[in-house]
Amino acid sequence: MTETLADLPHTARHDLGLREEATYRMVWYAYTLLIRALEAGTLAVPHNHPWVDRSTGELLPCPRDCPHQPIPPAEFFGRLLDASVPDSVPLTEALAIDSTDYETWARRRSWARKPDVDPDHLPVKDHKPVNHAQSANEASWPRTGHDGRAQNSLDPDARDGYRSGTNGTRGSVFCGYDLHLAVNARSLGGPETPFIITGMHLSPAGSHKGRAGVTLIDQVRARRGKGQVVTEVIGDRGYSYCKPETWAWPLRARNVEPIIDLHHNQRGQHPGPIPATVVIDGGLFSDALPHPLRDLPGFPIGMPAADKAKLHGRYDQRAAYAFTPHSRPDKDGYQRFKGPAVAGKVRCPNYPRSLRGSHTRPTTACTPGTECACGKTLTLAPDVTAWTKQRNLWGTTAWAADYGRRAAVESGNAEIKTHRLHMDRGFTRVMGTLKNSVLLAFSLAALNVILLRDWHAKRRRLDPWSHLVNEPDEPNVTKHTRAKRRTTSLATLTSGDPPG
């Protein structure tokens, strides 16, 4: 950080009020003041008076007539991220969100036998057992934290969470935080967009993923202007496995469409809401659905692309028998659906009109005169299949394209952690949610600048930031050294708080 300040041009140093060489102490002091102001709720803009007494460092009370607007921490993080994205970079209506584990710097003092995760958490299986040689708890540990959960380190907010295994490694328990990130996703069928982080939310590990996700979405929505509304959110099963009350419903109440993947426990056949219907994998079907299309397999990791495409084709065949929306949901969430013969997807002998349709459509095996649901319309209450429903039927080619946009975001997040920021334990060496969040927000804003530069360079386009600050447009030469320097300087800033 001090290096970055030293690198600033003379005018920028003047604007910051830097008359001398910035020292580590100065940066640390500024950081401490910022934390105090955020904690006290006294950070505000625009101010017509200084909010810190320069001689004593005391926070000054705001005079009554001061037209200030207090900035809560979440808004501060959001504004910081916003500031890293030039106006010329378009934001879409689609948000992809993801949560990643972030270990506390504090030393672990005790171990839990079981992962201490929210009951709404995905089923935890096959986690690495605690190493008994290392697992002796220190005297008087674990403590009971301010939230009633076990506290296993001096970090007052760090909790035990479960990190699922990847690429064949087993899942494990870790002590720290869940870092939830919101990323601008490509519009369905739209052009590629740069990978930009537009929101962040840090919560103690093992806490409720759905609630944290909704908090994050609200943070992003609050800062979007008119015409920049968020209407769809792509999130993995960590979010969508949560009860509908804490994920699907809050999203729909915000006019946001959840785009989800189903867990094994969310799949299967259930009776439908009216006779001769059946609910399968979150979709409502006419009973005319042939049996071979009912119990289709899932998509295991590493499935060859050709096999995957073929299997999506089977789900597409199944989709012909589904009920489809007949109207938009009303205010209370009730929505009209029409049967597959009404929608012109199948030919059913009970609905002569459908027989006039093209012969390329499947003809159902319904017995004429025996009641079937192919030609019915019905109104579905919002709680019917609330947990599993989405605009495209799970498993279909259309669904794969919709949900598949998450893949870019997922790989982007991996890049953040491993290639760009090395966001591992010790990346920030402070304790508590707020202190960590502030440092992470600055790092992520800097990362946006670097990623944008990279994105534009790859496409041989002018990087808006380099252009604005009149930097030579040679991203391939500068980007890596800059990325590296910023990481090291951020780490230097954080090393002032001794580990617990």
Q: Which CB, 203 or 350, lies closer to Zn ion? A: 350
Which of residues 342 and 493 has its CB atom nearest to Zn ion in the complex?
342
State the minimum distance, in angstroms, from the CB of residue 286 to Zn ion.
6
**What is the smallest separation between the CB atom of 175 and Zn ion, expressed in angstroms?**
57
User: To the nearest whole angstrom, how small is the minimum distance from the Cβ of residue 347 to Zn ion?
Assistant: 9
CB of 356 to Zn ion, least distance (A): 15
Query: Least distance to Zn ion from the beta carbon of 345, Å?
Result: 11
Q: What is the DSSP string of 416-481?
A: IIIIIS---TTSS---SHHHHHHHHHHHHHHHHHHHHHHHHHHTT---HHHHHTT--S-HHHHHHH
- Cα separation, 188 vs 245, whole angstroms: 27
Residues 319 and 404: their CA atoms lie apart, in Å, by: 19
104/364 with CB nearer Zn ion: 364
Shortest spacing between CB 323 and Zn ion, in angstroms: 12
| 215 close to 244: Cβ distance less than 8 angstroms | no
Note whether 232 and 94 are within 8 A (CB): yes
What are phi and psi for residue 410, nearest 5 degrees?
-65, -45
In the complex with Zn ion, the residue whose CB is nearer, 196 or 343, is 343
Angle made by CA atoms 34, 37, 43, in degrees to the nearest 5: 100
The nearer residue to Zn ion, 114 or 353, going by C-beta atoms, is 353
Cβ at position 268, least distance to Zn ion in Å: 23
Give whichever of 339 and 382 is closer to Zn ion, judged by the CB atom: 339
Three-state DSSP state, 214: helix
CA 52-53-55 angle, 5° bins: 135
Query: Distance between CA 198 and CA 95 in Å, rounded?
Result: 9
Note the residues at the interface with Zn ion (CB under 5 A).
288, 348, 350, 364, 366, 372, 374
Residues 209, 299: Cα–Cα separation, whole Å = 24
CB of 101 to Zn ion, least distance (A): 50
Tell me how far, at minimum, the Cβ of 313 lies from Zn ion, in Å: 23
Q: Which is nearer to Zn ion, 284 or 366 (CB)?
A: 366
Q: Cβ closer to Zn ion: 284 or 374?
A: 374
**CA 291 to mean position of chain CA atoms:** 37
Nearest CA to 260 out of 395, 129, 170 is that of 395
First to last CA, the chain: 23
Distance CA 427, CA 422 (A): 7
Which CB sits closer to Zn ion, 165 or 275? Answer: 275
* C-beta separation of 71 from 79 below 8 A: yes
Instruction: Give φ, ψ of 378 to 5 degrees.
Output: -150, 160
